Amino acid sequence: MRDILDVHTHTLASGHAYNTMMEMIRAAQDKGLSVYGITEHAPKMPGSCQDFYFQNLKVVPRQYGDLKLLLGAELNILDEAGTVDLSEPYLGRMDVAIASLHTPCIRPGSRQWNTQCVVEAIKNPHIHIIGHPDDGRYPLDYEAVVQAAKEYHTLLEINNHSLEPGCSRQNARENDLEILKLCKKYRTSVILSSDAHFHT
């Protein structure tokens, strides 16, 4: 099976990724991708982009030969209300908006509390994808998350980086299998992404 899209990647602008936008675009072209997304970390991630970066994405072309470019943000879920760290005027302009739990931005809580954080983020109409819900540091009620994603037409990500040796996300493989079984049961859509911080 050939990959045709990858919409969760990062560049130097995220503060802890290591290639320029053009280097990442060229790598996507070399792989033969049709759709490529660059989703920089949002402002609460240490060292990342501020609001004006996202406001100015309009200057970047969205077509590179046969490759369609999507630009957006990987937002940080900040609390049990599902609050994210990019304000509405900017958030609504994103081609792709991923909401994720990250340890520098929100401490892991109980299964019930973590689940509430994610489900409330799913309810935000500007959120397209929940990033790496497989991270075992944040125990989740996967049935509740999958059902909410189905109801609000939000994609759940199967994150390739989570499955790499040495990744800090705990029990990702087992959690992904549970997510996939529930997505099959409820006919909830998933998306596969690299979460690349370096072009390969």
The predicted model gives 127-151 an average pLDDT of: 98
Average pLDDT along the chain = 96
Q: What is the pLDDT of residues 103-131, one digit of tens each?
A: 999 999 999 999 999 999 999 999 999 99
Q: Which CATH class for the 5-193 domain?
A: alpha beta
- Angle in degrees, CA 141, 37, 23, rounded to 5: 130
Give yes or no for residue 90 having a pLDDT over 60.
yes
Confidence at residue 88, expressed as pLDDT on a 0 to 100 scale:
85
pTM score of the predicted model:
0.96
The predicted model gives 153-174 an average pLDDT of: 92
Confidence at residue 1, expressed as pLDDT on a 0 to 100 scale:
54
Given a contact cutoff of 8 angstroms between Cβ atoms, the answer to whether 115 and 127 are in contact is no
